[in-house]
């Protein structure tokens, strides 16, 4: 019975229309203020090359080692170290952490938005590269998320301090379908250099997160997501909202891990 209900839910999610982002023409862009600051977003291949580099792998391992240790943090460090040891210079792997290291290293963000912060492993990658970056995080703090403790805002603040974060930190608790639009309405001039969408995984919530967040991504900015192999929600929305929209060029890695992707907003 449970599996039948699940199948009905999946079919409904596959077919049901969903909310889409509404972009505005006066969105700020990264660069373009003059000859010394050209508008030159990275290509998708540049983002991907940085994400699979040994530099990214080493940086992620180093940052993970500074965080409170749990199963995921330890597994991440072991995975990166084993791949490099076994395959030497040929090792290529990307996950959300190496992709965020890449996005932060290439763009040097001053503003970062993350939906689904959990234990701040992803936010820590941005903070480690750009300690002054303002971080805006939204989470419902679902208890024991994916089998591990999900302690909440104080813990996140402490984790980011461990990697040297010095910038502004805003953490909003609650369902992102309501907290994010309410927050953005209160901050009409706030735009982000990098956005990670990694909260709930159902089609309606993922769609709502993209619809709310993407119009605030600066032109030339990067959006990152995870779990494209694991869940139908992120996959369907990424394909519909990013892959089929000429505003974006994208890069994806799904050889191993959960399936991660990043896209650069070009207009
Ligand atoms: C996959 S985890 C995020 C992992 C994090 N980005 C990282 O890399 O460390 C997903 C998070 O989304 C949160 N979440 C789930 N549903 C949500 C919702 N409707 N609104 C806001 N957050 C939600 C959970 O509490 C959980 O912390």
- 169-173 vs 192-197, strand pairing mode: unpaired
How far does residue 154's CA lie from ligand 1's centre (Å)?
Answer: 16
Task: Write the pLDDT tens digit of every residue in 101-126.
Answer: 999 999 999 999 999 999 999 999 99
**Mean per-residue pLDDT of the chain:** 94
Q: What is the 3-state secondary structure (H, E, C) of 108-126?
A: CCCEEEEECCCCCHHHHHH
Of 119, 200, 230, the one to substitute when testing ligand 1's pocket (max ligand atoms within 8 A of C-beta) is 200
Task: Write the pLDDT tens digit of every residue in 69-83.
Answer: 888 878 888 888 898
What average pLDDT does the segment 254-264 reach? 93
Whether pLDDT at 30 is above 70:
yes
Phi, psi of 113 (to 5 degrees): -115, 130
**In this structure, which topology does domain 43-265 adopt according to CATH?**
Rossmann fold (3.40.50)
What pLDDT is recorded for position 118? Answer: 96
Whether pLDDT at 1 is above 80:
no
Task: Write the pLDDT tens digit of every residue in 127-168.
Answer: 999 999 999 999 999 998 988 899 999 999 999 999 999 999
pLDDT band at 236 (very low <50, low <70, confident <90, very high): very high
Closest residue to atom 27 of ligand 1, CA basis: 118
What pLDDT is recorded for position 222? Answer: 98
What average pLDDT does the segment 238-253 reach? 97
Which atom, in ligand 1's list, is nearest to the CA of 141? 25
For the Cβ of 122 lying below 6 angstroms from any atom of ligand 1, the answer is yes
Distance CA 31, CA 201 (A): 33
pLDDT band at 184 (very low <50, low <70, confident <90, very high): very high
Distance CA 15, CA 202 (A): 13
Confirm if 199 and 177 have CB atoms less than 8 A apart: no
Whether pLDDT at 12 is above 90:
no
pTM: 0.95
Whether pLDDT at 13 is above 80:
no
Of 113, 128, 140, the one to substitute when testing ligand 1's pocket (max ligand atoms within 8 A of C-beta) is 140
For the Cβ of 119 lying below 6 angstroms from any atom of ligand 1, the answer is yes
Distance CA 208, CA 228 (A): 17
Task: Write the pLDDT tens digit of every residue in 191-202.
Answer: 999 999 999 999
Distance CA 239, CA 25 (A): 23
How far does residue 225's CA lie from ligand 1's centre (Å)?
Answer: 12
């Amino acid at each position: 019975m449970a599996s039948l209900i699940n199948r009905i839910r999946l079919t409904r999610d596959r077919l049901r229309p969903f909310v889409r982002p509404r972009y505005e023409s006066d969105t700020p862009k990264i660069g373009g203020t003059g000859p010394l600051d050209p508008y030159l977003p990275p290509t998708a291949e540049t983002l991907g090359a940085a994400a699979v580099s040994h530099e990214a792998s080493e940086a992620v391992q180093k940052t993970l080692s500074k965080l409170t240790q749990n199963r995921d943090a330890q597994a991440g460090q072991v995975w990166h170290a084993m791949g490099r040891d076994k395959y030497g210079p040929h090792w290529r792997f990307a996950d959300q952490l190496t992709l965020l290291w890449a996005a932060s290293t290439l763009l040097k963000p001053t503003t970062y938005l993350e939906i689904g912060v959990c234990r701040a492993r992803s936010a820590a990658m941005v903070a480690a590269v750009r300690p002054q970056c303002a971080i805006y995080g939204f989470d419902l703090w679902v208890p024991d998320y994916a089998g591990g403790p999900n302690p909440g805002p104080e813990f996140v603040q402490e984790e980011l301090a461990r990697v040297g974060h010095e910038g502004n930190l805003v953490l909003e608790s609650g369902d992102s379908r309501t907290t994010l639009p309410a927050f953005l309405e209160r901050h009409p001039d706030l735009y982000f250099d990098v956005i990670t969408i990694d909260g709930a995984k159902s089609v309606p919530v993922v769609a709502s997160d993209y619809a709310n967040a993407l119009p605030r991504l600066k032109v030339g900015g990067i959006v990152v997501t995870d779990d494209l192999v694991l869940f139908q929600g992120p996959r369907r929305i990424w394909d519909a909202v990013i892959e089929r929209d000429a505003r974006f060029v994208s890069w994806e890695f799904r050889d191993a891990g959960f399936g991660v992707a990043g896209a650069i907003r070009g207009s």
